[in-house]
Amino acid sequence: MSFNVLIVDDSKSMRRVIKKIISISGFKMDRCFEAGNGKEALNVLADDWIDVIMSDINMPEMNGFKLLEELQKDDLLKNIPVVVITTESSEERMQNALNLGAKGFIKKPFLPEDLKRILHEVIGVDDDGYYGEDSGDNGDFDF
């Protein structure tokens, strides 16, 4: 089984880095969608099935908090696990993201292993045996 991933970040560079790390992690990614803010993310979600969302918080037009609120209003979308990837430093704001339905968060800067670990935690791939039987992956990354 493969998963569709949606990366939401106003930085094109960061979207590329996240996509690259997911690709080389052995995670079974089918399609990777990108959005520059929450509004664009909702447009993607209206058209395509997404299994996991990785979203920044500070974005123009619609930020990550508002995106989480919008997802919670929809019976189908609210079940999609969201990982917040952010430079946000405040514990209060991170707790706010969790209260709004985020399943986990990771602070920039992060190591590839951190991203892989949180992705596996929220989607449960290790437990369900979906992850990397043929990848030969040992959890380390080669660049």
d(Cα 111, Cα 64) in Å, to the nearest integer?
A: 22
- The stretch near another protein (CB under 8 A) out of 35-43, 45-53, 101-109, 119-127 is 101-109
Q: Does 141 participate in binding another protein (rule CB under 8 A)?
A: no
Can you tell me which residue has the tokens 């509004």?
39
Binding test (CB under 8 A) with another protein, winner from 86, 97, 102, 105:
86
Which stretches of 25-137 are DSSP H helices?
38-47, 64-72, 91-99, 112-123, 125-128
d(Cα 58, Cα 11) in Å, to the nearest integer?
A: 10
Binding test (CB under 8 A) with another protein, winner from 1, 43, 48, 60:
60
d(Cα 49, Cα 25) in Å, to the nearest integer?
A: 22
Q: Does 40 participate in binding another protein (rule CB under 8 A)?
A: no
Binding test (CB under 8 A) with another protein, winner from 32, 44, 98, 110:
110
Q: Note the residues at the interface with another protein (CB under 8 A).
A: 11-14, 16-17, 20, 58, 60, 86-93, 107-111, 143
